[in-house]
Amino acid sequence: MNFLSFALAVICPLALVEQAASASLSTKLDYKIFPVRKNNEAAVVEWGNSAIISALDAAVASFGPQTSHEAFFEVETQPVLATPVNGRGNKSNIPLEKDQFADVVAYPGPLDNRDEIEGNMVVMTNESSNMTPIAMARVAKESGAAALMIVNFDRENPDAIYSLEAESKEEAEFAENHIDIPVIMVSLASGNLITTATVEEDMDEEDIVNNGMPDRIRLYGAGDRPFFEDAISQSPVLYLIHNLLSDEECDALLDMSKGKFKPVDDTLSNLLENTVAEKNRKRTMHNIEKAMLWKGQIKGHAGKQIDERIEQVTGYPQDQFSDWQITKMVKGAKHELHYDHHPITTPVATITVFLNDLDVAGGEIVFPKGGNDKNPIMITPKKAMAVVHHNTDFEGHFDVTSLYGEKPLLGDDVKYVARKFVYSEPLPPSKRIVLPILAAPTGGSLPQWVIVLHDYLLVKFGLEQGSAYFDKICFLGPVLPVLLLIAVGGLITSLFGKSNGGKQEKNGKKD
C-alpha cells in the first residue's frame, strides 16, 4: 500500500501541473540541438604551481594544429594581451596592392605590441573586430605569436565557446598553408578570470603586472578530462559536462543496478526516492524502470572519487548530493514534460548522466521553454556526458522554464540514465548514513518497510513534521539498542556489585 496515494493534493502544486500540461513532447519546436562540441576540440589552459593550479576550458579551432598533433599543439609560454585588444582598433585593412592575400583574408596588419608578443600566446577579443577567425589568426601569426587565445565577448552568454571555422573555401586553403599556430577560444568569464589571475584585493593599478595575467601558462588537449558546453545561461541555467564519468564508471553503475530495477508508477508518490505524483494523477513516466542506489557515506573509494569530481567541476558541495537514481528505458518508453519538484525540499539542480550510447535516434532530453520559450533545447544521448539544469533561478525561486522531458525511445536500444539531485542544504544523517546501511545487504535497495514507514509518518504528521520524525527515528533507531545494552550492562553490574557487597558483609559478621 502507498499511504500517499490519497494525499496527492499536497504533493505537486497545481500551477506546475498546468505549466507541464500546456506543452507536450510531440509539439514541434525549432530545437537547438546539443552537444556540438567534440572531445578532440577540447583543450585546457593551465597555470599555477603544484599547490594551487588554475585552469580554463577552451575550444580548439578547426584550423591550425589540432589536439591530436600533441607536441605541435601544446604550448608553454607567457600570455600577452594584444594592442589593440581586438586586433584592429581603428585600423583599416591593408589595401590589395600591398597585400597579396587581401582578397582572400583581409586584415589590418600586425599588432602594435608585436615585440612583446614574439614567441608568446597573444590574447585577443572578438568584440567589434569585424575580422573573420582566419584573419585574427593571421594577425597573431604575423605578429610572431606562438598561439592565439580569442576571448568570446558574448555578454548575454558569458560562458559560451565554440570551435572557430574558416568562412570560405579560400580561407580554409589559406589557413592550411599559413596558419601553423594553435588557435583557441575561451569564454568571456574565462577571459575575466585569466586577466585577474595575479590581481589581489586592494592592489594599486600600477602594481598590476602583465594586465593581471600569469607569467606562464600551458596549453594542452583535454583528452578524457571533463569539459563544459554551455546551452543556456538563464531561464533555465543549462549546460553539459562532457566526460563527467569515465566509460568504466558508467559500466560500474549499470552493474550495481542489475537486479534492482522496478517499474515506476508515478501516479503514486514515493517521496523518499523522488517519485512525485501530480495532483491530477496523470502518468508521466511510460514503460520506465528505476533503481535507487542508496550508498551515502559507505559508497567506497570509487564512489567518493566521483562525488569529489562532481563537486570540483560544478562547485556544489558533495554533502548536498543525493545518491544515484538509475532509470532504464526500452523501446517506446518516454518521460513526459515535468519538473523536478519536491514538496519537502526541491532540488536546486539536477545532474543527468547518460550511461550508454544509442544506435538510433530517440531518447533525447528536451527543454521546450528554454530561454523563456525563445530557445528550446534538445540534447542527444552521449555516454558519460552530464546534463546539468537548475530548477531554481538566481534568487532561489522555482524556475518554471526548467520543464523538461525525454522523448520516446526508438529501435531496440535500451537507454540508461543516472541522476543526482543537488539540494540547498546538506542531506541529513538519515540519508547519508542510516538508510545506506539499511540498504547495504541488497547492494543499495531499501527494504519496503522503510518506505512504508516514511509515507505513513508524512500522512500522519504532515510533510515537514513527518519528515523530521522520520529523520529522528532513523537516528535514534540504531542508537536505542546500544543504549539499551549499556543500561542492561549497568543494571547487571549494579546488581552484581550489591550481591558481592552483601556476601562480604555476611563474611565480616562471621569473623
User: How does 474-490 read in b/e, with b if 16+ C-beta sit within 10 Å?
Assistant: beeeeeeeeeeeeeeee
**Would you place residue 227 in the very low, low, confident or very high pLDDT band (cuts 50, 70, 90)?**
very high
Tell me the C-alpha distance between 467 and 477, whole Å: 15
Q: Which residue has the cell 528536451?
A: 366
Spatial strand order of the sheet with 75-77 comes to: 75-77, 217-221, 42-48, 53-60, 183-187, 147-152, 121-125, 79-81
CB 312 within 8 A of CB 42: no
Say which residues have a Cβ less than 8 Å from residue 177's Cβ, sequence separation at least 6: none
503 pLDDT more than 70: no
482 pLDDT more than 60: no
User: What is the percentage of the chain residues whose pLDDT exceeds 70?
Assistant: 88
501 pLDDT more than 50: yes
Is the backbone peptide bond immediately before 447 cis, with ω within 30 degrees of 0? Answer: no
Say which residues have a Cβ less than 8 Å from residue 250's Cβ, sequence separation at least 6: 353, 355, 356, 383, 384, 418
Q: What is the DSSP track for 442-471?
A: GTSPPPHHHHHHHHHHHHHH-HHHHHHHHH
Q: So what's the pLDDT on residue 392?
A: 94
Q: So what's the pLDDT on residue 122?
A: 98
- pLDDT tens, position by position, 416-466: 999 999 999 999 999 999 999 999 999 999 999 999 999 999 999 999 999
- Average pLDDT of the chain is 89
Cell of 261: 530495477
- pLDDT tens, position by position, 165-215: 999 999 999 999 999 999 999 999 999 999 999 999 888 888 899 999 999
CB burial of residue 231 (10 Å; 0-12, 13-18, 19+): buried
Where helices occur in 243-317 by DSSP H, the ranges are 247-257, 300-314
DSSP state of 100: T
262 pLDDT more than 70: yes
- pLDDT tens, position by position, 43-86: 999 999 867 889 999 999 999 999 998 888 999 999 999 999 99
- Ranges assigned E (strand) in 108-159: 121-125, 147-152
Beta bridge partners of 229: 240
280 pLDDT more than 50: yes
Q: Nearest-5° angle of CA 476, CA 478, CA 484?
A: 85
Closest CA to 42 of 21, 17, 61, 70: 61
CB atoms within 10 A of CB 374: 9
CB 105 within 8 A of CB 132: yes
Q: So what's the pLDDT on residue 51?
A: 74
Q: By three-state DSSP, how is residue 228 classified?
A: strand
**Total length of the chain:** 511
Q: So what's the pLDDT on residue 15?
A: 56
**pTM above 0.95?**
no
Q: Which residue has the cell 522520520?
A: 470
Q: What is the DSSP track for 65-92?
A: S-GGGGGGT-EEE-EEE-SSTTS-TTPP
